[in-house]
Amino acid sequence: MWKEFKEFIMTGNVIDFAIAVILAGAVGLVVTGFVSDIIMPVVGHFAGGYDFADQKILLSAAEIGADGTVLKPENAIRWGAWVNTIINLLIVGMVLFWMAKSKTRFMGDAPAPGPTADQELLAEIRDLLKK
């Protein structure tokens, strides 16, 4: 069992997938920082000085005890954070689109795979049945 697990883990697909997941996490952090630190201040400036991250609709205020502890946290719809998330999604989508376009431009389109032996056999059977 250990040998099978070792063979599975050491295959190229698993290692490539692990690298992709790690890189995706790093790219996610970079894009989140880009959106929150660069894009949203510009959007806020042109939207009249709003900081979207702090925008919310307060449903019920927090209850604070006499000693300063929070007895009941506030309940709010944080629509500004949601706007930031949507902008983040659009930027990630745009970057992935550019990457795909660049790959196609530099490496060319991958040729379409031909039919498998099973598909060719089925096509021959279909053609014989038509006759």
Q: What residues have CB less than 8 Å from 17, skipping those under 6 apart?
A: none
What is the value of pTM for the model shown?
0.51
Average pLDDT, the chain: 83
Instruction: Say what the pLDDT of residue 20 is.
Output: 84
Instruction: Say what the pLDDT of residue 124 is.
Output: 92
Q: Is residue 21 part of a domain?
A: yes
Domain count of the chain?
1
**Cα gap 57→75, rounded to integer Å:** 9
Q: Is residue 123 part of a domain?
A: no
Q: What CATH number is given to the structural domain containing 70? A: 1.10.1200.120
Q: Is residue 129 part of a domain?
A: no
* 65-99: pLDDT as tens digits: 889 888 898 999 999 888 878 887 888 788 778 87
**Cα gap 4→19, rounded to integer Å:** 21
- Name the residue range of residue 41's domain: 2-109
Q: Is residue 121 part of a domain?
A: no
pLDDT 10s digit of each residue in the chain, 131 long? 888 877 777 776 777 888 888 988 888 888 778 877 888 788 778 877 777 778 899 999 989 988 988 889 899 999 988 887 888 788 878 877 887 788 777 777 667 788 888 999 999 999 999 98
Q: Is residue 116 part of a domain?
A: no
One-letter amino acid of 5: F
Instruction: Say what the pLDDT of residue 6 is.
Output: 78
Instruction: Say what the pLDDT of residue 127 is.
Output: 92
Q: Is residue 61 part of a domain?
A: yes
